[in-house]
Amino acid sequence: MFKKKHFTFEDIPDLSGKVAIVTGANTGIGYITAKELARKNAHVFVASRTKERGESAVENIIKETGNNQVEYLHLDLVSLKNVKQAAENFLAKKLPLHILINNAGIMATPWSLTEDGIQDQFGVNHVGHFLFTKILLPRIEASTPSRIVNVSGGAYKWGPAAGIEFDKINQKDAQSTLQRYAVSKLANILFSHSLAKRFEDKEIYVNSLHPGVVRTELSRGVEETYGIIAKIVNKFTYLFKISAEDGALTQLYAATSPEIIEKNYRKKYFIPYGEIAETTALAQDDELAEKLWKYTEDLIDDKLRT
Ligand SMILES: NC(=O)c1ccc[n+]([C@@H]2O[C@H](COP(=O)([O-])OP(=O)(O)OC[C@H]3O[C@@H](n4cnc5c(N)ncnc54)[C@H](OP(=O)(O)O)[C@@H]3O)[C@@H](O)[C@H]2O)c1
């Protein structure tokens, strides 16, 4: 809470001419991230699933920052068709894309499947973002220097010893909902590694991060699953959480700090506030990362074909 800040809003450079997409930017950490990018003159897309919430966020950001180049992009990660459409809608605007922040997420929700029949946390937090990013990649590549920031979380360590048990992802009772969240957050880091590897000779800086334990709406899922117990725990822990403003700093660092390019930071995992942290061996496992890449590609091909 009182940790020294390696990066603050004042350190965000002028972003005039830069185009950014922030997923899940209508509330929480994503909202603050989009707002601070806009304050520094970036052209920002608030990519979010609910039109009213997205448009209201756009209105508030414009009002607060005076930057009119803030737009709503409809993106519902629960539907691969919608994800594809959202990415294509952005591409149709013929704009460059310098910063993609894959921030949207759900945590510890009760068991449910996405529109495509994929377990929801894995589907929303990982698979949807994988497809969104892949469709946008040519534009990101044409806009270098550019950055991709995948918002993971410290909970990535709570998963099974094998990391990702592919045969259990869609099995209802195979894992607890917190384990399913952990697997999806590990996937965010492994996806960053695979992407970074594919672009190691390009000026595309791909990194992931843990934003801190932040006061946002993320505990909605936990409360739905665990009811009153979770509500009490959340009330108690509220005091120990950092603000959404502080929570946004680490992704803003990865998305905008000149240090990323100066120090050639790729495949890094940042923690508050813009510090590099060592990850577990599983999160650095290249073989697992490649297996995940192939698994996700095949899954998406299969779902979009049907
Ligand atoms: N808060 C923490 O302590 C913490 C810790 C570690 C990691 N994180 C990570 O930080 C990121 C941001 O979380 P937050 O704390 O800001 O949570 P939040 O306040 O609940 O915001 C999550 C955002 O994701 C959006 N979202 C959820 N499902 C979506 C879908 N199907 N399609 C598109 N957007 C969707 C939400 O939209 P709606 O408002 O429409 O639901 C919302 O805009 C997440 O990836 C989370 O895992 C947070």
**pLDDT number for residue 120:** 98
Pairing of strands 275-276, 269-271: antiparallel
**pLDDT number for residue 230:** 87
CA of 234 to the centre of ligand 1 (A): 16
CA of 261 to the centre of ligand 1 (A): 27
CA of 160 to the centre of ligand 1 (A): 23
Ligand 1 atom closest to 102 (CA)? 45
Q: In the predicted model, is pLDDT for residue 290 greater than 90?
A: yes
Q: In the predicted model, is pLDDT for residue 306 greater than 90?
A: no
Of all protein residues, whose CA lies closest to atom 20 belonging to ligand 1?
Answer: 218
Q: 18, 185, 267, 303: which is the annotated catalytic residue?
A: 185
> How does pLDDT run across 30-47, given as a tens digit for each residue?
999 999 999 999 999 999
The CATH number of 15-305 is: 3.40.50.720
**pLDDT number for residue 2:** 66
Range 140-168 average pLDDT: 97
Task: Establish whether 72 is a catalytic residue.
Answer: no
Protein residues with CB under 6 Å of any ligand 1 atom: 23-24, 26-30, 48-50, 53, 75-78, 103-107, 124, 151, 153, 210-211, 213-214, 216-218
Confidence band of 261 (pLDDT split at 50, 70, 90): very high
Write down the domain spans for the chain: 15-305
Q: In the predicted model, is pLDDT for residue 3 greater than 90?
A: no
Q: Please choose from 83, 107, 208, 246 the residue to mutate so as to test ligand 1's pocket, defined by most ligand atoms within 8 A of CB.
A: 107
Q: How far apart are CA 252 and CA 224, in angstroms?
A: 30
The gap from C-alpha 94 to its chain's centroid, in whole angstroms, comes to 23
Q: In the predicted model, is pLDDT for residue 6 greater than 60?
A: yes
- For residue 194, what are the contacts with CB-CB under 8 A and spacing of at least 6? 289, 290, 292, 293
Q: Please choose from 27, 224, 246 the residue to mutate so as to test ligand 1's pocket, defined by most ligand atoms within 8 A of CB.
A: 27
Confidence band of 210 (pLDDT split at 50, 70, 90): very high
Residues making up the chain, counted from first to last: 306
> How does pLDDT run across 215-260, given as a tens digit for each residue?
999 989 889 898 998 888 888 888 899 999 999 999 999 999 999 9
Q: In the predicted model, is pLDDT for residue 1 greater than 80?
A: no
Phi/psi-derived region of residue 66, left when phi > 0, alpha when psi is between -120 and 50, beta in every other case? left
CA of 6 to the centre of ligand 1 (A): 24
CA of 256 to the centre of ligand 1 (A): 21
Task: Establish whether 185 is a catalytic residue.
Answer: yes
Q: Please, is 139 exposed, middle or buried when counting C-beta atoms within 10 Å of its C-beta (0-12, 13-18, 19+)?
A: buried
Tell the residue number behind the tokens 């920002």, with chain if given: 44
Q: Please choose from 217, 222, 245, 249 the residue to mutate so as to test ligand 1's pocket, defined by most ligand atoms within 8 A of CB.
A: 217
Rg of the chain over all Cα atoms, to the nearest angstrom: 18
> How does pLDDT run across 49-64, given as a tens digit for each residue?
999 999 999 999 999 9
Of all protein residues, whose CA lies closest to atom 37 belonging to ligand 1?
Answer: 24
Q: 181, 253, 269, 273: which is the annotated catalytic residue?
A: 181
Q: In the predicted model, is pLDDT for residue 15 greater than 60?
A: yes
CA of 5 to the centre of ligand 1 (A): 23
Confidence band of 144 (pLDDT split at 50, 70, 90): very high
**pLDDT number for residue 236:** 85
